[in-house]
Amino acid sequence: MQEKRKLSNIIIYVVLTVLSVVFIVPIALVLMNSLKNKLYISTTPFELPNAESFRGLKNYTEGLTKIHFFDSIGYSLFITVVSVILIIVFCSMIAWFIVRVKNKITSAIYFMFIASMVVPFQMVMYTMTKTANVLHLDNFIGINILYLGFGSSMAVFMFTGFIKGIPLELEEAGLIDGCNPLNMYIRVIFPVLKPISITIAILNAMWIWNDFLLPYLIIGTKYRTIPVAIQYLRSGYGSIDYGHLMATIVVALVPIVIFYFMCQKYIIEGIVAGAVKG
């Protein structure tokens, strides 16, 4: 029995090690090539920089200048932060309402959110773009409403599962203390939702920060987020300076990676609780 367990542990360890290498190698290649001259990136992409190919930080300074990096990171940061806050606040409210007010209307609302999870973006892409234009949402403020809509289905699903595990006694104690529904949510419910809120924040922040298609369709080149700005490193004849491209990708990864590592301990706890409770 112990030998079988040891063998299974070894197999799991080997599989996880291989998966780690598979995920780490592409990132290492991007980082390594961001320090090379563009000619050597095409001819020797898997070799370490040497005296001839090493370009230092020039790719970073030139690439970031080309895409007006600080403007782009400002738009990306604003859109990501505001959209994530809207998703967490509004989706946790509706999830609490769905769980505690049990009737046909709330059940219908819940199943509408769940059903929207299986609708591919391409099905609503054209109508969404036209609607955003008509409602004047085609700017870096209005796009947050669209992200709220697209991110609400999974967020409501996870919040609902988590809230089902919150004892009613907490809310009864709040009622005894004279809390109205808003105070109940702010003082009692929302603090308990910290693990699942951080999980949802990480998942949505990674999606919104790296999203290219929605900002490109809605706000285009006027308010370039980082993924959209990187696309414009292409020259007039279609050629791409891969040194600049690799450097800007590395810099774009840094904020979201730091955010992920700061909050990663809550991910598994929040996902498991939100998926199986109740």
Q: Would the pLDDT of 277 be above 60? A: no
| 154 and 23 inside one domain | no
| 49 and 82 inside one domain | no
Name, in order, each residue with C-beta under 8 angstroms of 35's C-beta and a sequence gap of 6 or more. 49, 54, 55, 56, 57, 59
| 82 and 19 inside one domain | no
**Model confidence pLDDT, tens digit, residues 7-62:** 788 888 889 899 988 888 888 888 888 888 888 888 888 888 887 888 878 888 88
Q: Residue 201's domain spans which residues?
A: 67-276
Contact in structure between 226 and 105 (CB atoms under 8 Å): no
Contact in structure between 273 and 165 (CB atoms under 8 Å): yes
**Model confidence pLDDT, tens digit, residues 99-142:** 988 889 999 999 999 888 888 888 888 888 888 889 988 888 99
Question: Based on the structure, what is the number of domains in the chain?
Answer: 2
Position with higher pLDDT, 109 vs 269: 109
CATH of the domain at 81: 1.10.3720.10
Cα 97 to the center of its chain, rounded Å = 25
| 52 and 82 inside one domain | no
| 182 and 112 inside one domain | yes
| 106 and 56 inside one domain | no
Give pTM, 2 decimals: 0.84
| 56 and 71 inside one domain | no
| 45 and 121 inside one domain | no
Measure CA of the first residue to CA of the last residue in the chain; give whole Å: 35
Structural domain ending residue among the three candidates 60, 80, 108: 60
Structural domain ending residue among the three candidates 43, 60, 77: 60
The residue behind tokens 């907490």 is 170
Query: How far apart are alpha carbons 241 and 59 in whole angstroms?
Result: 9
Q: What are phi and psi of 240, to 5 degrees?
A: -125, 130
| 185 and 263 inside one domain | yes
